[in-house]
Amino acid sequence: MSLTNREQQEITRANDSGRVPVVFVHGLWLLPSSWQPWRDLFEENGFTTLAPGWPDDPETVEEARANPSVFAGKKVGAVVAHFLEAIAALQVKPAVVGHSFGGAFAQILAGRGVSRASVSIDPAPVRGVLPLPISTLRSAFPVLGNPLNATRAVTLTFEQYRYGWTNAVDEAEARSLYEATHVAAPGAPLFEGATANVNPFSALKADARNPDRGPLLFVSGGADHTVPHAITNASYKRQAKNPGVTEIVEVEGRGHSLTIDSGWRDVADPALAFVQRFS
């Protein structure tokens, strides 16, 4: 068992509650604690929530910054397996909400038939999603620009973070978010994403045709440099082939920090409404 004590406690709490669980999945450069406002909102509306980490995630930003190398080498397959283990321990089929690479994982988990409803927010592209805007290449260059980063943990400079994450908020808020939430991230998943469309064995693959996929909502930040609307819309079109409900919402003027910045409710409210419809 790879689940931490915190994760096991959250699973036990969810099972004891008798409520529908919502599993939150973070992406690169964040920790599970970044979901706390979302968890509070969903619990106020009758759900129980849990936010597993990626394998070996530190519990706090301070711990993560003290030992950034702990993030190095984490790959997509291991992260997905970790979330599958957490979901398998739940007594009630959960909804899944993910952002960025977490949004890609939400689609992968949905394709495995383990979620009752899923929300994929500004998702990293899975195999079969082809658009690659220039802003995405620029956002990924701090990692992909050096092949050695495939086995390293990478921390963004504030300038890189400002372009890729917080371009849609003011300077003061951008610096506050960087100082409060930004941690190192493994380079490996970005390299896996860069080769997914030429690697038939890529772990970054979501079954869009599984009839047990469940309802799926995409949320797109209209000003996102890292995952522009073209990528999210292409992900939506790919999943729209599924017989289940597939929807997309574009939130105008929002960047990649849309789940953690001051406008997070503009994203959380439609996500909550979608999960409520199918729970």
Q: What is the CATH number of the domain that holds 21?
A: 3.40.50.1820
Q: What is the pTM of this model?
A: 0.97
pLDDT at 6: 97
Question: What are 45-88's pLDDT values in tens digits?
Answer: 999 999 999 999 999 999 999 999 999 999 999 999 999 999 99
**1 pLDDT exceeds 80?**
no
Question: What are 264-273's pLDDT values in tens digits?
Answer: 999 999 999 9
Q: Which residues contact 50 (CB under 8 A, 6 or more apart)?
A: 7, 10, 11, 13, 14, 21, 22, 23, 24, 86
pLDDT at 230: 97
If pLDDT is split at 50, 70 and 90, which confidence band does 2 have? Answer: confident
In contact, 175 and 186? CB cutoff 8 Å? no
Q: What is the mean pLDDT of the chain?
A: 97
Query: Rounded to an integer, what distance in angstroms lies between the CA atom of residue 96 and that of residue 99?
Result: 10
Question: What are 165-202's pLDDT values in tens digits?
Answer: 999 999 999 999 999 999 999 999 999 999 999 999 99
CB atoms under 10 Å from CB of 40, counted, come to: 12
Whole-number Cα distances in Å, 113 to 25, 65, 170, 214: 16, 36, 40, 7
Q: Which domain holds residue 221?
A: 5-277
If pLDDT is split at 50, 70 and 90, which confidence band does 34 have? Answer: very high
Which is nearest to 214 in space by CA: 41, 87, 43, 89? 87
Q: Read off the pLDDT of each residue in 8-30 and give the average, rounded to a whole number.
A: 98
Q: Read off the pLDDT of each residue in 3-30 and give the average, rounded to a whole number.
A: 98
Domains: count for the chain: 1
- Tokens 């509306």, residue located: 45
Which is nearest to 119 in space by CA: 127, 110, 128, 111? 110
